[in-house]
Structure 1
Amino acid sequence: MKTESLSQLLSFLDASPTPFHAVDALRNRLNAFGFEELLEQESWKIHPGSKYFVVRGDTSIAAWIQGTESPSVTGFRLIGAHTDSPNLRIKPQPDLNQHGYLQFGVEVYGGALLSSWADRDLSLGWNDLPEKQNRKNRRTLFFIILNRF
């Protein structure tokens, strides 16, 4: 059981290089377990004993199982986590052409210990938002690993 749980956790981490990917992986898992996605901009019809989740900005997710009795009687449990981690984020309008190379301007996000990254492969993860007229569509997620020389 512990080996299976660890394997599932490592699979999730591998599938979650960015907050966008983490939320997408959680969305897929919650759907597989019978949770219903609610949209923030719509009114909700919550039913006792049902399972729900809501996504905000494609980087935050909250899920719950609605109790069959009032929380004032039974109480409730709450667990929290975050989907982001220290990284280098590409700045808006990042492309620069210098000396025949395309460069990206980046900024440090979170408490990155950059010295510990020197012996790691570089990876690049991002999302692409559909055109404004098609914003009902979900973002397209991308992830590539750029191996060291």
Structure 2
Amino acid sequence: MKTIGPGLEYRGAMSVHWNYIDIHIDLLRRLWPESVRLTEQFSEGAREETRRDEVTGSPYRVNLAVTTWQGKEQMTLWTDIDAAPRHIAHKSLVQRREQMVGDAVQLTFDVMHWNRINDVEDPINMPLDLTDDVEWQINAPDKDAEAA
């Protein structure tokens, strides 16, 4: 697993704010043509990094991503969830929810298409209310604990 750590050291001080990371990535993009590949690797590592909540033991993603635009260029800004101000955390979580909605819309189109071209078969019904599924997963035995 790749990790990016708690922040960025700048002039001897550790910063957990994504502003410095944004500046750093922007400079890389301008000065180093391979930076696009490195930015993708950075983002992959940031997405994958998890911790366990010290009280509940539940896993959570360490880094929150916020997609924003600077002029005509789309940027992804990252911050540590434990240090994120509410407005940044809220924006990141809303954007993740919007991605889920987009996936549900595409799933619906795919099901509708399959049902249309296979009208002699029983139609596939794909409920989109995930409330029960989420609760079951939250309350399922911990896979890591079972393996131990």
Q: Which structure is higher in helix share?
A: 2
Return the TM-score normalized by structure 1.
0.26
TM-score, normalisation: structure 2: 0.26
